[in-house]
Copies of this chain bind each other. A is one copy, B any other.
């Protein structure tokens, strides 16, 4: 042993004296190769996760185009491509730095425009700066997509897009900074892995306030309390939208691991894929069982929303639960949808696509359910987060909706609503030969 140590010390001494001997240099190089490989993997995770979540914009567009009546379909398509575009521009000029730059335990970041390293230059850190921006931007856009479905068929185009601009440039980034930017809720121990609250509830609260302020579509609720069914015009499009959203959710939750550079992270991303899928499956099956028990019939739109509610429910913690617990968490999401849709109708809250049960209620449920598997989560911190996001988003979006309502106006005229927004505001019918 002494001989070994003596020789080792001797070699080390020589290394120290020479300062640049090959062995030492190689140790650094091996580590740097490892680090660079991890950098590329992490960046690739953001890019793949990012394009999957980007495609969710198409999923929302198809879901909503399928669930509105044919006279409003072109408008819904336009709103969706416009809101995705606005989200990108607002998150570039305001949102990203407001959410991630210099939050330091506080309540918002800075208004410093974000700058990227030059082309051709290696980036510092564990991933490419621009890949992170892209991944975070598509989350921001998803928040806006949630709103458009609820307020469909009666809101004017430009006021809606103004709302989206403020939501994606200011409201979402500020509240997002509280946890993901390292703000005050992060310091409190609030846990929300991929955004059951930060994305889905925030979108859901904004949608709820919009539905309340806009009021219901004409004829939806009669004075004697009857609810007029206004069936969606294209169920296979809504189904396609749901499958696209399901696909995108692998990027949404899997990418939120934020790293793929080693065995442990790759294994965790894989677990997240499995749990995400099983929660959605649980949501579908639970919704179908409950429908069969209550109605003896199957409403396909509730099964689709069951999948989405299962996905929203597992989003706050897709890593820690066992597969079985994931199925349970998603199943409760599915049950929430079947129960909440008629309740909202009783409350005369007109949510055209069911986004409030799916994103707001299942989002709250998922955020609470974190405590079942993540030992870092406390019920107290989770409820604090849910309430904080709720209070802020309700106040901010109510203010904004009302400001729009009493200035440029939010709602189309009764005649325009009757004609359909495609004729009155767009001038292009969605299906000119079918209807």
A contact residues vs B (CB 8 Å cutoff)? 3-4, 7-8, 11, 14-15, 17-24, 26-27, 29-30, 33-34, 36-37, 39-41, 43-44, 46-48, 50-52, 54-55, 57-58, 61-62, 65-66, 69-70, 73-75, 77-78, 80-82, 84-86, 88-89, 92, 116-117, 119-123, 128-131, 133-134, 137, 157-158, 231-240, 242-244, 246-247, 250, 254, 260-271, 273-274, 277-278, 280-282, 284-285, 288, 292, 295, 297-301, 303-304, 307, 319-320, 322-323, 327, 425-435
Contacts and interface: CB of A to CB of B under 8 A. Distances in A.
A429 B233 CA distance: 9
**A117, A236, A247: residue with the most chain B Cβ atoms closer than 10 Å:** A236
Contacts of A11: 18, 21-22
Contacts of A265: 40
**A27, A29, A134, A157: residue with the most chain B Cβ atoms closer than 10 Å:** A134
Contact of A277 (B26, B134, B285, B303): B134
Contacts of A18: 3-4, 7-8, 11
B236 A77 contact: yes
B131 A270 contact: yes
A43 B427 CA distance: 46
Given A247-B55, A263-B40, A319-B119, A427 B299 contact: yes
A117 to B, nearest CB: 7
A51 B122 CA distance: 27
B274 A134 contact: yes
Contacts of A52: 51
Contact of A73 (B43, B65, B235, B260): B235
Contacts of A299: 426-428
Copies of this chain present:
3
Contacts of A116: 271, 274, 322-323
Contact of A70 (B26, B133, B427, B433): B433
Contacts of A117: 267
A157 B120 contact: no
Contacts of A277: 54, 88, 134, 137
Contacts of A15: 22
**A43, A70, A82, A265: residue with the most chain B Cβ atoms closer than 10 Å:** A82
Given A11-B18, A130-B270, 11 more contacts: A4-B18, A36-B263, A40-B263, A57-B243, A61-B239, A61-B240, A74-B235, A81-B304, A116-B323, A128-B263, A299-B426
23 contacts: A7-B14, A8-B21, A15-B22, A36-B262, A43-B270, A50-B273, A58-B243, A65-B239, A70-B434, A77-B239, A82-B288, A88-B281, A92-B323, A116-B323, A119-B320, A122-B262, A122-B264, A128-B263, A129-B267, A130-B267, A134-B270, A235-B430, A299-B426
Given A21-B11, A264-B121, A82 B4 contact: no
Contacts of A47: 250, 254, 269-270, 273
B82 A46 contact: no
A254 B55 CA distance: 16
Contact of A260 (B23, B40, B231): B40
Contacts of A48: 48
A433 B430 contact: no
A4 B30 contact: no
Contacts of A427: 295, 297-299
Contacts of A22: 11, 15, 23-24, 27
A52 B85 CA distance: 20
A323 B232 CA distance: 39
